[in-house]
Structure 1
Amino acid sequence: MSRRRPGSVRRNDVKGFLLRRQGSRCFYCRTPLLNRADATLDHYIPYTLWRTWWAANLVVACARCNRDKADRLPWPLVWLLLAHAPAVTGRGAAA
């Protein structure tokens, strides 16, 4: 997918692909998504930070999880980034 928002037919195709990839469950809470209407497309890395509609950055989520996550980075990604960040010592200087 590109940086442009896909049309509704393409979004529906992507949602179907993501539902199959995720086993028809919400990516965050694992609640079963019984039909496509229950699933919302969510950018794992918020669109405000990475302006792409690539399937690698999209997940399906229930409406509640999508709303609660909003445009924030998910905690597992934050932990991963922090785990690989350079150590800081002293007054904020990089080691």
Structure 2
Amino acid sequence: MRQVLLLNATYEPLTTLPLRRAVCLVLREKAEVVHHDAAGAVLHSAAMAIEVPSVIRLRRYVRIPYRTRVPLTRAALMRRDNFRCVYCGRRAETIDHVHPRSRGGKHVWENCVASCMACNHSKADRLLEELGWTLEITPGVPRGAHWRLIGVINDGDPQWAPYVTEPAA
């Protein structure tokens, strides 16, 4: 299903919407089209035709509650580690707890990393010191509003790039 990027009145990216919901917001004049679909697609009804939007902006500002921490999800963790195993650098498929949960480790950002199947099975429930392994990076909580848009930056429409740029670290 086609997705449309939704911006706040201040041009901050909020989320993505299905095309149907985006068109409804535009027709009810709750949002305005910022950027049309590059292919020039048009939706027709009996009485009107509307160009397919790619990016829309709300006409009124919507306050987003401040979150102290980004929720820990599989998608967010993989994005943080760039879909690469932190142990060997291959493509990551699983989540590994640096300090195993069976030994009292917590399921928090600081203890979770992306891992390939081979490294995850080799490590099992052992500590890094027991294996002689080291971490090149220190796992931490990602920061910034762009984490609300997981998947949009890499997998989204190229036309969204000016609106969803990641802040420099």
- TM class by smaller structure: 0.5 to 0.7
Please identify which structure carries the higher strand content.
2
For the aligned residue pairs, the C-alpha RMSD in angstroms reads: 1.8
**Other structure's SS at 1:52 match:** coil
The structure that is helix-richer by fraction is 1
- Contact map agreement 1:14 1:55 (CA 8 A) in 2: no
Deviations 1:17-36, CA, capped at 9 Å, x for gaps? 11111111011111024xxx
Partner of 1:62: 116
State the AA in 2 paired with 1:65.
C
**2:84 is matched with which residue: 6, 25, 31?**
25
Q: 1:53 aligns with which of 107, 120, 127?
A: 107
Quote the Cα distance in structure 2 between the aligned partners of 1:51 and 1:31: 24
Sequence identity percentage: 38
TM-score, structure 1 length as denominator?
0.55
Matched, 1:16 2:75: yes
The alignment status of 1:76 with 2:125, answered yes or no, reads no
Deviation at 1:76, TM superposition (A): 2.4
Unaligned runs of 5+ in 1: 1-12, 34-38, 78-95
1: CA distance, partners of 2:99 / 2:91: 22
Q: How far apart, CA to CA, are the structure 2 residues paired with 1:70 and 1:52? A: 16
4+ long deviations beyond 4 Å: none
Structure number with greater CO (CA < 8 Å, separation at least 6) is 1
SS in 1 for 2:94: strand
Q: Quick check: 1:44–1:73 contact (8 Å CA) kept in 2?
A: yes
State the structure with more CA Rg. Answer: 2
